[in-house]
């Protein structure tokens, strides 16, 4: 990992942030800007290609990936507020292009990918001063953030900097919430049972809010909690941190 602080970075917004959680994306951008780094958001960016890749359409996924590689073409770090999309771009793009003449270019692109909390901790070495009221928060680890990007301790270390936040670990933290992108659509009964277990785990912590670095997981968990009338809030870690350090 290149730990030198850059003057500029790219920000990859992700589809779910674009469509449903724009405040999380803006919080991520502001956390980087707060450290004096210019954030570039290419307006033509789109999906990371994961839906096509996971559904068995590698050529379609390559077409989407190639577009992102063309757009994020300068040698700046690319910060992604999602372990899932970051994992796709960092680890699966090189597999997609393994026998392609552009493989060197793809590997260079993938080497510039950082998950947001990884970037805040290891590159910017961000320091946080908590201005919020005392709260107990549970943390949900997305599968890709934990197993591909391996950034969960980075996320938790940021939460632990917030003096008025009591972080409660889930008993089955590494168990999937049942979202899995297209998995939840193809296997709704299994997905529903998995998120029910996840919610019980969250309830058992006594937390009033559950945090995650992936909006897909948050959408799945908070949607199920709303359905079952469980009053636990869900929030992306970037938005949570931004509100805490600004006393919002």
Tell me the average pLDDT across 29-57: 96
| pLDDT at residue 110 in the model | 98
Structure-model confidence comparison of residues 85 and 187, the more confident one: 85
Query: Residue 186 — pLDDT band, cuts 50, 70, 90?
Result: confident
Share of the chain above pLDDT 90, in %: 92
Question: pLDDT of 116-137, one tens digit each?
Answer: 999 999 999 999 999 999 999 9
Asked if residue 180 has pLDDT above 90, the reply is: no
Query: Residue 3 — pLDDT band, cuts 50, 70, 90?
Result: low
Return the axis-axis angle of helices 22-33 and 237-245, rounded to nearest 10°: 60
Separation between Cα atoms, residue 86 and residue 81, nearest integer Å: 8
| pLDDT at residue 1 in the model | 52
pTM of the shown model: 0.94
| pLDDT at residue 248 in the model | 84
| pLDDT at residue 74 in the model | 97
| pLDDT at residue 4 in the model | 79
| Residue 6, CA atoms < 13 Å, CB-side half-sphere | 20
Spatial contact of 15 and 102, defined as CB atoms under 8 Å apart: no
SS3 content of the chain, % helix, strand, coil (to 5): 50, 10, 40
Question: pLDDT of 45-56, one tens digit each?
Answer: 999 999 999 999
Separation between Cα atoms, residue 235 and residue 159, nearest integer Å: 13
Share of the chain above pLDDT 70, in %: 99
- The mean pLDDT of the chain is 95
Question: pLDDT of 193-232, one tens digit each?
Answer: 999 999 999 999 999 999 999 999 999 999 999 999 999 9
| pLDDT at residue 124 in the model | 97
Tell me the average pLDDT across 8-27: 96
| pLDDT at residue 2 in the model | 54
Spatial contact of 206 and 124, defined as CB atoms under 8 Å apart: no
């Amino acid at each position: 990992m290149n730990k030198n602080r850059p003057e500029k970075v790219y920000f990859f917004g992700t589809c779910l942030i674009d469509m449903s959680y724009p405040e999380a994306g803006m919080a991520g951008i502001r956390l980087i800007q707060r450290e004096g780094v210019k954030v570039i958001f290419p307006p033509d960016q789109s999906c990371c290609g994961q839906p096509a890749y996971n559904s068995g359409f590698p050529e379609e996924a390559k077409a989407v990936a190639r577009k992102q590689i063309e757009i994020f073409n300068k040698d700046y770090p690319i910060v992604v507020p999602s372990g899932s999309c970051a994992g796709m771009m960092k680890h699966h793009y090189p597999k997609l292009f393994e026998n392609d003449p552009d493989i060197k270019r793809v590997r260079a692109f993938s080497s510039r990918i950082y998950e947001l909390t990884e970037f805040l901790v290891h590159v910017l070495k961000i320091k946080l001063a908590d201005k919020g009221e005392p709260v107990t928060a549970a943390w949900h680890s997305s599968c890709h953030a934990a197993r591909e990007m391996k950034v969960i301790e980075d996320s938790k270390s940021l939460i632990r900097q917030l003096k008025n936040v009591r972080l409660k670990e889930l008993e089955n933290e590494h168990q999937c919430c049942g979202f899995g992108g297209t998995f939840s659509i193809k296997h709704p009964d299994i997905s529903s049972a998995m998120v029910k277990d996840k919610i019980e785990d969250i309830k058992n912590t006594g937390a009033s809010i559950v945090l995650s670095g992936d909006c897909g997981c948050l959408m799945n968990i908070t949607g199920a909690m709303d359905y079952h009338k469980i009053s636990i809030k869900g929030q992306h870690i970037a938005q949570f941190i931004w509100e805490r350090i600004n006393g919002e």
